A and B are shown apart, each in its own frame.
Chain A
């Protein structure tokens, strides 16, 4: 597709339930990022992939959060035993880097998944 696609668009989970959020980046984009955006805040970095390799997961708030990108394209963010503080919009972005190491077109973001834990 032409943009970054995220699904589901909305997710309501009962506390303690596991959830899986999907990100389908722009075809050919090597880099993929996950962000968490709490209400009224800026997006906070969670994790970064280059192809299938997870190069940075320093932003994951706890070991309940897990992300994967097994074939270097689609990525899944999984949250186990959800808690109320996990309620947020989860954003995925992808980007393409040229030979000169410059970013091409910047980062393209999906519309996000709004997770509400009740």
Chain B
């Protein structure tokens, strides 16, 4: 069994300030972890993924995430928010093996103020 908890339904930041979107997971197997972004009326776009290599993962648009097994966390960060980052962000876990069926968190809405 696997599950994902995104701790904040909304995060509000000012442009140019750091972004932190929190994600905790549980999985019966060693997981693969992903962050996806969804802009309004757009499809889901992969930001970054962790499979089994480096625990600090760099993604597109300056985002990165760190896999911390001891804390079962995979928080998403960005040093400086841009207005175009405003969107819905989903943390996703899938088992490494078997069906690979991914499970989504409920999402975090990132609001960026000018």
Contact = CB atoms under 8 A, between A and B. Distances in A.
Interface string A32-48: 01010000011111001
Interface string A42-65: 111100101000011000000000
Given A102-B52, A102-B96, A107-B34, A33 B102 contact: yes
Contact of A91 (B34, B44, B101, B105): B44
Interface residues of A, number: 27
B94 A103 contact: yes
Contact of B43 (A44, A45, A105, A112): A112
Nearest to B46: A106
A90 interface: no
**Which of B49, B101, B105 has the most chain A CB atoms inside 10 A of its CB?**
B101
Given A91-B44, A101-B97, A102-B51, A107 B105 contact: no
Given A42-B90, A55-B99, A97-B100, A103 B51 contact: yes
Contacts of A80: none
A91 B94 CA distance: 17
Interface in A90-111: 91, 93, 95, 97, 101-103, 105-111
B107 A41 contact: yes
Contacts of A95: 100
A16 B51 CA distance: 44
A103 B32 contact: yes
A66 to B, nearest CB: 19
